[in-house]
Structure 1
Amino acid sequence: MANKLKFSILDLSPVPQGSDVQTALDRSLALARHAEALGYERFWMAEHHGMEGIASAATAVALSHIGHGTKTIRIGAGGIMLPNHAPMVIAEQFGTLEALFPGRVDLGLGRAPGSDQRTAQALRRNLNSDANEFPRDVLELQAFLAGDDRLGIQATPGQGSHIPLYILGSSLFGAQLAAALGLPYAFASHFAPQMLDEALTIYRRDFKPSEQLAKPYVLCGFNIFAADSDAEAEYLASSMMQSFVALRTGNPGKMPPPVEGYRESLPPQAQSMLGQIMQGSAIGAPEAVKQGVESFVKRTGADELIISGSIFDQAAREKSYTIAAEVRDLLVA
């Protein structure tokens, strides 16, 4: 583990109850600046539509806000849901970001639409696409970013930018595609860990070197809620737990404030659901977080952890990421 493990951040720009999108995006920028000072590798935002509790739907625009307020940390999408978009449009959007913030931009790509069918219709995309369309779209996007003359048209900005691509997934499909294309693979183990081990095995076994990447590179989503005590960390984590339960029961909304004893207050079925979702998590004081991270990295052999941790209070949120960075430094010392 020494001298290799990187920590990054996945931020959905959560909108707290009683607040608004502008506040959420400004909180994200404050977190990105904080992360930059703490030596985090990258700051990713994700595309979700039709959800009042998430402010990062226009991901490229949100990333421009982050890029203008930071100097060195990499910024990127974790991810763009490519079925929602024409590849040329994404090449132009992220080509623009690369022109504004040279050498700092990543582009993670997911296959899930990140929305329901009604939202997908509002996005004007084809709902009857076949399973091969995502790989074709990834290759087309790669070609636009490379400025491939065979396309007969150029993405401007975008052409020749060679922005690094990452394949995101929570199933075996993404692992197979990332391996076949020789791209880094990011697994969504922070909320869908069920197929993690098998997916990583397939990715590493079948990986084919590419111009972008010589050997497999694994990023894993991981929740960290860190505080001075285990009890306080559990309390802070209850906001995200409430959001998970609300989403799974069809009632998503803005991020709620934390609740004492929330997990224990749930019926057994809901507790079991949360336990499944949050397998890729470390909640507690620094020592508990260190043990959780060590165990997870030993299990996965991850090269990088993409840390998620939606916390209602901004100061507590930044402190949690400070503790996480201290844990990282202990592990790589």
Structure 2
Amino acid sequence: MNENQPAHKETKSLGEIPISILDLAPVIVGGTPADSFRRSLDLAQHAEQWGYKRYWLAEHHNMPGIASSATSLVIGHIAAGTSSIRVGSGGIMLPNHAPLVIAEQFGTLESMYPGRIDLGLGRAPGSDQPAARALRRGLGSDGHDFPELLSELRGYLNPSQYQGVPGVRAIPGEGLNIPIWLLGSSGFSAQLAGQLGLPFAFASHFAPDYLLPALDLYRSSFRPSEVLDKPHVMVGINIITADTDEEARRLATSQQQQFLNIVRGRPGMLNPPVDSMEPLWTPQEKAYVHNSLRFSVAGSKDTVRERLQVLLEQTGADEWIVAGQIYDHQARLKSYHLLSKAVKEG
């Protein structure tokens, strides 16, 4: 599908689309994970006031710039400090864990914060090979067993419809209504989510090449279920908003530096913005980073609104979930505040 062609015929207005936050709990240069958790809670409390629907955190390991490795614990921290916003995982990398443990952890969260917990699941390791070994994940594991792990997990939560391990119960967890989302950056989870009738979230904030094909695959393979009667898509994007396009583009250089470090195999803490990226990357690295971030948006409120409208026409998204790696916490708060206004005015 051509990126300039609409992926979905249904016409929606920007103001109708719920918007959420994907927090990578960035550890900035000069900061600590403890600082990250305080800032994440502050952002979540503001997001609740600004009308964001969900606040999700992602499982990553062996990455100095991301503090949310113990994802369930951070979800509990955010849920405890808020009152209405939904809090969840974007996502838990299920093959890293025993399904029983995840059922118990999220059963505990749902018992503590009823009606507010989401369980987004991915099949990637969320780490490099040494960390995968440390997690006791076999090097031959490519996520092929994800459907079986998912089925087992659903069996613990809803034993009347699905099969876990006979004789084993998730307490707490059993019988609780914890919405499950499948997350993906390729077609595997898109097709599985469609076949199971589950909501699907695509990570176009780092995998833009497969966004539109994956959404097509999800919709074409969708089968109605007790969860959904029609497809439901959340699109993950990077958005950085500021008073001017120039300031937003400058703030976005922190994110560009982070992607550049990943390309070089040297992930690190989130760096301050710079006036120009040109001294920092080669032409080949620049092209790679720009391609990886091509669905990202950095601009003023008006620019962001215009770009989101185009993305809505291309994707037919039912929800947005937005990441924004911004070094300065006040600028990060302002970015999400301006974004909420841009969407409401859309």
1:170 to 185, 188, 193: 185
Which one is further off, 142-151 or 19-28? 142-151
* Mapped partners of 1:162, 1:30: distance in 2: 28
Gaps of at least 5 residues in structure 2 are 1-11
Q: Does 1:311 align with 2:326?
A: yes
Asked if 1:180 corresponds to 2:180, the answer is no
How far apart are the structure 1 equivalents of 2:279 and 2:303?
Answer: 20
Residue type matched to 1:295 in 2?
V
Instruction: Select the residue among 156, 160, 163 that pairs with 2:175.
Output: 160
- What is the Cα deviation at residue 152 of structure 1? 2.0
Residue 233 of structure 2 corresponds to residue 221 of structure 1: no
Preserved contact between residue 221 and residue 280 of structure 1 (Cα < 8 Å): no
User: Corresponding residue for 1:38?
Assistant: 50
Secondary structure of 1:194's aligned partner:
helix
Out of 2, 26, 32, which is 2:38 matched to? 26
Task: Using the aligned pairs only, state the percent identity.
Answer: 50
CA contact (8 A) 1:264 1:271 kept: no
Q: Choose which of 215, 225, 232 in structure 2 pairs with 1:200.
A: 215
**Cα offset for 1:132?**
3.8
1:231 equivalent to 2:246? Answer yes
Letter in structure 1 aligned against 2:229: A
Range moving further from structure 2, 141-150 or 240-249: 141-150
Q: Deviations over 1:156-182 (max 9, x none)?
A: 111111311001001111111000111
Structure 1 letter corresponding to 2:18: K
Equivalent positions of 1:73-152 (< 5 A) are 73-129=85-141, 132-148=144-160, 150=163, 151-152=166-167
Shift in Å, 1:280: 1.5
Q: Is the 8 A contact 2:57 2:90 kept in 1?
A: yes
Question: Residue 62 of structure 1: SS of its match in structure 2?
Answer: helix
The structure-2 alpha-carbon separation of the partners of 1:97 and 1:23, relative to structure 1 and needing over 3 Å to count, comes to: same
Task: Tell me what 2:65 maps to.
Answer: 53
TM-score by length of 1: 0.96
Provide the C-alpha distance between the structure 2 equivalents of 1:310 and 1:98, rounded to a whole number of angstroms.
Answer: 28
Q: Which residue of 306, 311, 316 corresponds with 1:301?
A: 316
Do 1:16 and 1:256's aligned partners in 2 also have CA atoms closer than 8 Å? yes
CA displacement at 1:14 relative to structure 2: 0.2
Structure 1 moving runs of 4+ over 6 Å: none
- Verify the 8 A CA contact 1:238 1:263 in the aligned structure 2: no
Cα distance per residue 1:6-30 (max 9 Å; x no partner): 1000001000110101000110000
Alpha-carbon shift at residue 116 of structure 1 (Å): 1.4
Q: CA deviation at 1:211?
A: 1.1
Q: CA shift at 1:130, angstroms?
A: 6.5
Count residues in correspondence: 331
Secondary structure at the counterpart of residue 333 of structure 2: helix
> 1:264 Cα shift?
7.3
Residue 3 of structure 2: aligned partner: none
Gaps of 5+ in 1: none
Which residue identity is paired with 1:93? Q
Assess if the C-alpha contact under 8 Å between 2:124 and 2:143 holds in 1: no
SS in 1 for 2:297: strand
Separation (CA, whole Å) in 2 of partners of 1:41 and 1:315: 21
Residue 182 of structure 1 contacts residue 212 of structure 1 at CA under 8 Å; is this kept in 2?
yes
Q: What CA distance in whole angstroms lies between the structure 2 residues aligned with 1:179 and 1:100?
A: 31
User: Does 2:27 align with 1:7?
Assistant: no
- Deviation, 1:263, is 5.3
Output the amino acid matched with 2:204.
S
SS in 1 for 2:16: coil
| Mapped pair 1:211 → 2:226 | yes
Shift of the alpha carbon at 1:239? 0.7
Letter in 2 for 1:154: R
